[in-house]
Amino acid sequence: MRSLLSPREIARAVGVSESTLKRWVDAGAVATTRTPGGHRRIPFAEAVALIRRSGVPLRHPAVLGLPEVGADVVAPGAPGAGDRLYDLLAQDDVAWARGFVISLYVAGWTLPAIFDGPMRTALTRIGELWRHDGQGIFLEHRATQICLQALLQLRGMLPGPPADAPFALGAAPTGDPYLIPSQMAAVIAADAGLREHNLGPETPIDALRRAVAHHRPRLVWVAMSTTPDDPRSVAAELGDLALQLEEQGGVLAVGGRAAATLGPISAPGLHRLDSMGELAALARGLRAGAAQRA
C-alpha cells in the first residue's frame, strides 16, 4: 500500500474518468495534499474512505496495492460472509482469505460488523475442528495468523490519529494466549480516532496498571477468552484497575467469552461488553467527549 496516490491512479482503480475524480476533489468529497511541484495527491486512507462512502466498486485493486481484494464482493450485512471466510481459511487460501476480509471493509462493512460477524463466525468454526479433525489445532493456528495479517492490514488502511488524541491500551490477561480479540480491540480503538497500543496476550494485570500510570489512557480494554484459574482474584485486580483509571479520568472495558466467569465487579468506570460493536460505541463516545473538552 502506498501512502499517496494521484487522482489518475484512483480514477483507474474505481473505473471512473480522471475528470470525474477531479470533480469529486473540487467538490470537497475527498481531501488532498500537494507535492512541492503543486500536483495533487490523495492519502491512501482518504482514498479508501472515498470508495467506502461512494459505494463505487474497486475495479482495479492492484493500483492501490491491494491485488487480493475484489475477488468476493459481499454487500454490507449480507448473509454467508462468515461461511465464505471459513471456507477460505480451512482451504489454506491464505492470500484470498486475507483479501476477502479487506474486501468486506472496502465494500462498506464497518469494522465491528466484520469482527462480530464473519470473522467471529469463521474463527469459532475453525476453533471447534479439533473435536473431530486431527488437523484442527494446525488449522486454528494458521487461521489465526491469516486473520492477524488481515487485522494489521486493516489498521494500515486507517488514518493516523491526531497527536493530541486520547490514548487507549489493552491486552489479554495472564493465562490467556489468544491473539485475535485484543488486536481487534486495538483496531477498533484506532478507527475511533484514539492512539492505541496493544500489549497482547499473557499480560499481567499489574503490567496494565503500570502502563496506565505511564500513559494515562482514557480507555483500557481487557479481552478474556480463557477462564482464569482464580476468577475472584482476577475480578479483584480488575476492580482495582478500574478504580485507578477512574481517578485518572479513564474507563475499563472488559469483554470476551470468559468475562462472565468473573462474576459481578463493583467498580466505577468499569464496562462489561459483549461485542466489538459495543467497544466501538464506547471508544467513539470517549473520543467525542475529549474533542468537546479540547
Question: Which residues, 6+ apart, have CB-to-CB distance to 290 below 8 Å?
Answer: 165, 166, 218
pLDDT tens-digit readout, 2-56:
688 998 999 998 888 889 888 888 888 888 888 888 888 999 998 898 888 887 7
Q: At 272, phi and psi to the nearest 5?
A: -95, 115
Please give the Cα distance from 81 to 76 (Å, whole number).
9
Q: 37-58 b/e with 16+ CB inside 10 Å = b?
A: eeebbbbbbbbbbbbbeeeeeb
Residue 100: all three cell numbers together = 476477502
Rounded-to-10 torsion of CA 56, 275, 93, 191:
50
Mean pLDDT, residues 164-178: 95
Question: 234 Cβ partners below 8 Å, 6+ apart?
Answer: 173, 205, 228, 262
Q: Which H or E run contains 18?
A: helix 18-26
Full-model pTM: 0.91
**Could you read off the pLDDT of 116-168 as tens digits, one per residue?**
999 999 999 998 876 666 676 888 889 999 999 999 999 999 988 888 999 99
Task: Give phi and psi for 182, each to the nearest 5.
Answer: -70, -35
